[in-house]
């Protein structure tokens, strides 16, 4: 799970150029739970039929019942543990151990003790599921996480000696239903330039009826075979009709991407970040101590397309930038910042990533099927784990729709779009990130 929360601070005032105040956090993630609660109260059943909540295009959540209580948890293909943080010590656990486990993410962590209890996810019930009963958190203000990765990547599973009885919830569901095909799907909705929406879907062992053609899409096998992540080979990247040389980002001879629903944005090489944004007229690269951050004209974008398994998947221009609104000289402004950024810029616990990390900004453009295959502990499949995509973005209509929506958003914000040429790069005096 890589949630991105970036905090910007400014130097002392004095420049005529526009400056971003320290109170604005354009990359802030996982901070909207108060608004989510409001939406849940308004909806009769916000999680009906696998529906999930999109919180400001930053995180995607669903409801699970753990030991008799409902929790709103982040759906995270980048991790494998189920943990919850109860508000009161009243979980109906079947066995509360004293075994302490700490799970460290990029710049946040959680800790607690291993417990066992009934868990309900969608229409599936696990009578005795192992989970982490969390009582200590560091910079992770959410109720919990449902990890959608492999057992081998689970801190709980590894702490208990890889005991099959302590496998992940999905493994237990798959082993209870051996006649099924051991896959999940995610359909991540897009809010209008942020905001909370109810939509999209998370399914287990079934496809959405209107997206079932994903079953016929190319299978992108998880590679290398021993990978602990949803890592697949990248076939190509095209920006404005020009092919990017992905070989320069290869690790051990190949270029991979980890598909991670727990990451708001994307972490790529500095070269690729520059390749995406430098061709946008008027875009400005602001140097930071760790690398460039791009400020982009709010109604301009590149045509970005990824290739996986010989199929092309265009990215909606809305998913190339994030908006930050601030006031200067009694005027309200909105700046648009590039969100395909490098690991050098983001201050993470992992300073060098041997792959691209494609989060929600890519996943909103595809319907994704994650096939667990032989990664299920105790399963009987010999098929490699793989990911299949079905494109949801129409490249021919995406740009005009983007311009219309972006202009409407800026109008609704009662702000003026920032001209990058007038933007003071010294604004980015501090640039820190939480990678969870």
- pLDDT tens digits, one per residue of 217-243: 999 999 988 899 999 999 999 999 999
Q: Mean pLDDT across the stretch 130-139?
A: 91
- Asked whether residue 46 is domain-assigned, the answer is no
pLDDT at 90 over 70: yes
The model's pLDDT over 142-179, given as tens digits with 9 standing for 90+, comes to 899 999 999 999 999 999 999 899 999 999 999 998 87
CB 239 within 8 A of CB 294: no
- 274 pLDDT exceeds 50? yes
Residue 84 falls inside a structural domain: no
Mean pLDDT of 130-141: 90
What pTM does this model have? 0.88
∠ CA 385-387-390 to the nearest 5 degrees?
155
Tell me if 73 sits within 8 A of 61, measured CB to CB: yes
Q: Write down the pLDDT at residue 434.
A: 31
pLDDT at 241: 96
Amino acid 381: pLDDT: 87
For residue 411, the tally of other CB atoms under 10 A from its CB is 10
Q: How far is CA 168 from CA 32, 108, 125, 132, in A?
A: 27, 22, 13, 11
Q: Read off the pLDDT of residues 174-204 as tens digits, 9 standing for 90 and up.
A: 999 887 889 999 999 988 765 677 778 999 9
Average pLDDT, the chain: 84
DSSP characters over 271-332 = HHHHHHHTTSTT-EEEE-SSSEEEEE-TT----EEEEETTEEEEE-GGGSEEEEEEEETTEE
What pLDDT score was predicted for residue 325? 87
Question: Which pLDDT belongs to residue 195?
Answer: 63
pLDDT band (50, 70, 90) for residue 431: very low
Q: Tell me, what's the pLDDT at 193?
A: 61
Among 140-144, 217-221, 264-268, 294-298, the range scoring the smallest mean pLDDT is 140-144
The enclosing domain of 337 has a CATH number of: 2.40.70.10
Local structure of 352: helix, strand or coil: coil
Which of 289, 301, 305, 290 is closest to 337 using CA atoms?
301
The answer to whether position 172 is within a domain reads no
Determine the average pLDDT of the residues in 393-402.
Answer: 95
In this predicted structure, what is the pLDDT of residue 290? 64
pLDDT at 12: 22
The model's confidence at residue 1, banded by pLDDT at 50, 70 and 90, is low
Cβ burial of 83 (10 Å; 0-12, 13-18, 19+) is buried
338-356 confidence digits (pLDDT tens) = 999 986 665 454 455 778 9
pLDDT, average across residues 100-120: 90
Return the HEC string of the chain: CCCEEEEEECCCCCCCCECCCCCCCCCCCCCCHHHHHHHHHHCCCCCHHHCEEEECCCEEEEEEEECCEEEEEEEECCCCCEEECCCCCCCCCCEEEEEEEEEECCCCEEEEEEEEEEEEECCEEEEEEEEEEEEEEECCCCCEEEECCCHHHCHHHHHCCCCHHHCCHHHHHHHHCCCCCCEEEEECCCCCCCCEEEECEEEECCCCHHHHHHHHCCCEECCCCCCCCCEEECCEEEECCEECCHHHHCECCECEEEECCCCCCEEECHHHHHHHHCCCCCCEEEECCCCEEEEECCCCCCCEEEEECCEEEEECHHHCEEEEEEEECCEEEEEEEECEEECCCCCCCCCCCCCEEECHHHHCCEEEEEECHHHCCCCCCCCCCEEEEEECCCHHHHHHHHHHHHHHHHHHCCCEECCHHHECHHHCCEEEEEEC
- Local confidence band at 57 (pLDDT 50, 70, 90 cut-offs): confident
The rounded Cα 68 to chain-centroid distance in angstroms is 28
Residue 325 lies inside a defined structural domain of this protein: yes
Strand duo 356-358 + 256-259: pairing: parallel
249 has a pLDDT exceeding 50:
yes
The arithmetic mean of pLDDT across residues 45-57, rounded, is 67
Measure the CA–CA gap between 60 and 53, rounded to whole angstroms: 6
Question: Is residue 106 within 8 Å of 139, Cβ to Cβ?
Answer: no
Supply the range of the domain harboring residue 259: 4-28+219-362+395-435
Confidence of residue 301 (pLDDT cuts 50, 70, 90): very high
How many domains is the chain partitioned into structurally?
1
How many Cα atoms sit within 13 Å of 213 on the Cβ side?
Answer: 5
Whether 122 is in a domain gets the answer no
- Residue 106 is predicted with a pLDDT of 64
> What's the whole-number mean pLDDT along residues 202-220?
96
Is 349 among the domain residues? yes
What pLDDT, on a 0 to 100 scale, did the predictor assign at position 346? 54
Q: Which tokens is 180 given?
A: 């099924």
Model pLDDT, residue 328: 81
Residue 38 has pLDDT above 50, yes or no: no
Structure confidence at residue 84 (pLDDT): 96
In a domain, 234, yes or no: yes
Query: What is the predicted pLDDT for the residue at 187?
Result: 96
């Amino acid at each position: 799970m890589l949630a991105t929360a970036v905090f910007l601070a400014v130097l002392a005032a004095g420049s005529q150029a526009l400056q971003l105040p320290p109170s604005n956090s354009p990359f802030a993630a996982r901070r909207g739970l108060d608004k989510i609660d409001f939406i849940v109260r308004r909806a009769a059943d916000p999680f009906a039929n696998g529906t999930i909540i999109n919180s400001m295009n930053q995180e995607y959540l669903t409801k699970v019942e753990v030991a008799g209580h409902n929790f709103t948890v982040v759906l995270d293909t980048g991790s494998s543990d189920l943990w919850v943080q109860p508000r009161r010590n009243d979980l109906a656990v079947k066995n509360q151990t004293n075994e302490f486990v700490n799970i460290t993410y990029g710049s946040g962590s959680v800790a607690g003790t291993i417990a066992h209890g009934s868990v309900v996810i969608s229409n599936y019930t696990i009578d005795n599921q192992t989970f982490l009963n969390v009582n200590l958190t560091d910079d992770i203000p959410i109720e919990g996480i449902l990890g959608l990765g492999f057992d081998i990547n689970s801190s709980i599973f590894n702490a208990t000696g890889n005991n099959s009885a302590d496998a992940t919830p999905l493994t237990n569901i798959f082993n209870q239903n051996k006649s099924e095909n051991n896959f999940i799907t995610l359909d991540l909705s897009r809010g209008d330039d942020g905001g909370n929406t109810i939509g999209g879907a998370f399914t287990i062992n079934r496809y959405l009826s209107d997206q079932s053609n994903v079953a016929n899409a190319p299978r992108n096998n998880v590679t290398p075979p021993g990978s602990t992540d949803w890592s697949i080979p990248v076939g190509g990247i095209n920006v404005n009709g020009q092919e990017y040389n992905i070989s320069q980002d290869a690790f051990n001879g190949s270029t991979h991407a980890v598909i991670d629903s727990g990451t708001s944005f994307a972490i790529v090489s500095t070269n690729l970040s520059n390749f995406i944004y430098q061709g946008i007229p008027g875009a400005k690269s602001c140097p930071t101590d760790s690398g460039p951050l791009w400020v982009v004209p709010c109604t301009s974008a590149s045509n970005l397309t990824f290739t996986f398994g010989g199929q092309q998947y265009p990215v909606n221009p809305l998913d190339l930038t994030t908006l930050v609104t601030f006031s200067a000289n009694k005027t309200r402004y909105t700046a648009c910042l590039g969100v395909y950024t490098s690991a050098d810029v983001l201050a993470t616990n992992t300073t060098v990533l041997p792959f691209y990390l494609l989060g929600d900004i890519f996943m909103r453009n595809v319907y994704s099927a994650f096939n667990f295959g032989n990664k299920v502990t105790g399963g009987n499949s010999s098929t490699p784990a793989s990911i299949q995509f079905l494109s949801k973005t129409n490249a021919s209509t995406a740009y005009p729709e983007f311009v219309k929506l972006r202009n409407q958003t800026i109008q609704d914000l009662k702000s003026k779009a920032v001209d990058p040429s007038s933007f003071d790069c010294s604004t980015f005096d501090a640039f820190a990130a939480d990678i969870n």
